[in-house]
């Protein structure tokens, strides 16, 4: 036979033989039972509670009362208190500066002498009027003489009243040469020196009270309903209705907190920010342990609003699209549940309807969820 025919046939038969041997000697396959993997999720039991609604805001600390130091008399400054410096502290009725009072003491002496002279003349005129009345009743004085005596007495009485007013004015001017503090406070700035001549009405510094400070807090229109105040509330808020306010500020690595209350609500909305401002008042304790809240500091504020009943607090991670949550039932199966969202907060949400006490809500972030899928819940 031809080699070109024999060789291919031989190779083909050899291949069939090798394939047969492989097929009869193939390894035995071990069939393993399929095990379904159940995902593990974190869940939390929910319970309806009463919650105080809070509003976050911020503002700058301002003094409750700030005044310009303005002398009411003219003169040269002869003494300045050591407290009358930028940042200096003082208490009510402390003398902050003195103005040369020599001219005012002279004016008091002159007014006292003028008053004494006017009173003497008035006494003499009164006695003369009484004598003229007696003579007129006995027909010994004419009506003209009586009228003249009465006129002189009235003029002298007016002179005495004017002299007494001048004396009181002179004494007030003398007292005003000592400029006293109207309240406990600090000096914001001063621009006066010893020996300087000041005039009536000239501003020589600025002081502010430290018994309490105020913070203007912007509040949006939709947040006003959370305060629990009547919609017509403007100006001072009735003490029983005043919301509590907590103010915090950072000093390096330390956070300090002060408590206060919102005392008034301003009447108008800001045209640019569309905010209305509430004014919180913070009382500062006068002791060494209470931290000082400096005027001008920027602070964060938390305003406690009205109280709501039967709401559920959930972390934001529990919320799904379209206001839905995932509920784990007694058979450890996931189900979508439509809920009513009451309010969004920083990291939490408040749900008013759609949940029952004791239900388990899934708070794990799941990429793919099928209603009714089995899970392994772990209580958070």
**84 band by pLDDT with thresholds 50, 70 and 90:** very high
What's residue 5's pLDDT?
A: 64
In order of their start, the domains of the chain are 42-51+309-379 (2.40.420.20), 55-64+209-308 (2.40.30.170), 69-98+181-207 (2.40.50.100), 101-176 (1.10.287)
Q: In this predicted structure, what is the pLDDT of residue 231?
A: 73
Q: For position 287, what pLDDT does the model report?
A: 57
pLDDT for residue 367:
80
Q: How far is CA 112 from CA 54, 162, 168, 169, in A?
A: 65, 12, 9, 11
Do 107 and 173 touch, CB atoms closer than 8 A?
A: yes
| pLDDT for residue 230 | 77
pLDDT digit string, tens, across residues 118-129: 999 999 989 888
- Please classify residue 254 by burial: count the beta carbons closer than 10 Å to its beta carbon, then call 0-12 exposed, 13-18 middle and 19+ buried: exposed
Centre a 10 Å sphere on the Cβ of residue 49 and count the other Cβ atoms it contains. Answer: 13
- The arithmetic mean of pLDDT across residues 75-81, rounded, is 94
> Is the predicted pLDDT of residue 25 greater than 80, yes or no?
no
Beta bridge partners of 60: 298
Supply the DSSP symbol for 224.
Answer: G
Mean pLDDT of the chain: 86
> What does the pLDDT read at residue 20?
66
274-308 pLDDT, tens per residue?
888 999 998 776 655 666 788 888 999 999 988 88
* pLDDT above 70: residue 242: yes
pLDDT band at 3 (very low <50, low <70, confident <90, very high): low
d(CA 240, CA 225): 17
pTM: 0.67
> Based on the number of CB atoms within 10 Å of its own CB, is 300 exposed (0-12), middle (13-18) or buried (19 or more)?
middle
Q: Is 231 helix (H, G, I), strand (E, B) or coil?
A: coil
Q: What is the pLDDT of residues 147-186, one digit of tens each?
A: 888 898 899 999 999 999 999 999 999 999 999 999 988 9
Write down the pLDDT at residue 159.
92
The answer to whether the beta carbons of residues 143 and 87 sit under 8 Å apart is no
**Rounded percentage of the chain residues whose pLDDT exceeds 70:** 91
- Give the confidence band of 2 by pLDDT, cuts at 50, 70, 90: low
CA atoms of 251 and 342, how far apart (whole Å): 36
Residue 51 pairs in a beta bridge with 308
Q: For residue range 191-219, list pLDDT tens digits in order.
A: 999 999 999 999 999 999 888 899 999 99
Q: How far apart are CA 156 and CA 160, in angstroms?
A: 6
Give the Cα separation of 209 and 319 in Å (integer). 49
Axis-axis angle for helices 143-175, 102-137 (nearest 10): 160
Give the CB-side neighbour count of residue 148, counting CA atoms within 13 A: 7
More confident residue, 329 or 21: 329
Highest average pLDDT, of 169-178, 262-271, 316-325, 350-359, comes from: 169-178
Our measurement of the distance from residue 223's CA atom to the centroid of its chain's CA atoms, rounded to an integer in Å, reads 15
């Amino acid at each position: 036979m031809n080699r070109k025919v024999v060789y291919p046939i031989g190779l083909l038969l050899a291949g069939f033989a090798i394939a047969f041997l492989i097929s009869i000697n193939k390894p035995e396959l071990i069939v393993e039972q399929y095990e379904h993997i159940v995902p593990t999720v974190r869940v939390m039991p929910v319970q309806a509670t009463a919650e105080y609604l809070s509003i976050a805001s911020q503002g700058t600390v301002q003094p409750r009362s700030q005044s310009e130091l303005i002398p009411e008399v003219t003169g040269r400054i002869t003494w300045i208190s050591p407290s009358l410096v930028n940042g200096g502290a003082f208490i009510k009725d402390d003398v902050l500066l003195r103005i040369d009072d020599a001219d005012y003491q002279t004016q008091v002496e002159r007014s006292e002498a003028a008053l004494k002279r006017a009173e003497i003349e008035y006494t003499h005129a009164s006695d003369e009027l009484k004598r003229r009345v007696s003579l007129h009743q006995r027909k010994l004085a004419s009506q003209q003489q009586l009228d003249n005596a009465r006129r002189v007495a009235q003029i002298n009485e007016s002179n005495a009243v004017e002299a007494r007013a001048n004396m009181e004015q002179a004494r007030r001017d003398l007292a005003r040469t000592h400029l006293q503090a109207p309240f406990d406070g600090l000096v914001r700035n001063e621009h006066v020196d010893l020996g300087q001549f000041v005039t009536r009405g000239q501003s020589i510094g600025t002081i502010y009270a430290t018994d309490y400070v105020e913070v203007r807090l912007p509040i949006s229109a939709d947040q006003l309903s959370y305060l629990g105040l009547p919609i017509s509330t403007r100006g001072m808020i009735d003490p029983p209705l005043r919301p509590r306010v907590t103010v915090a500020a950072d000093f390096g690595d330390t956070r300090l907190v002060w408590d206060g209350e919102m005392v008034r609500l301003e009447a108008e909305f800001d045209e640019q920010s569309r905010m209305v401002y509430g004014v919180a008042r913070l009382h500062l304790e006068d002791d060494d342990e209470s931290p000082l809240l400096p005027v001008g500091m920027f602070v964060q504020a938390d305003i406690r609003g009205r109280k709501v009943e039967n709401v559920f607090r959930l972390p934001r991670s529990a919320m799904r699209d379209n206001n839905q949550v995932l509920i784990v039932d007694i058979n450890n199966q996931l189900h979508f549940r439509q809920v009513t969202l009451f309010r969004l907060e920083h990291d939490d949400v408040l749900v008013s309807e759609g949940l029952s006490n004791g239900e388990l809500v899934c708070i794990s972030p799941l990429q793919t969820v099928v209603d009714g899928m089995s899970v392994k819940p772990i209580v958070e």
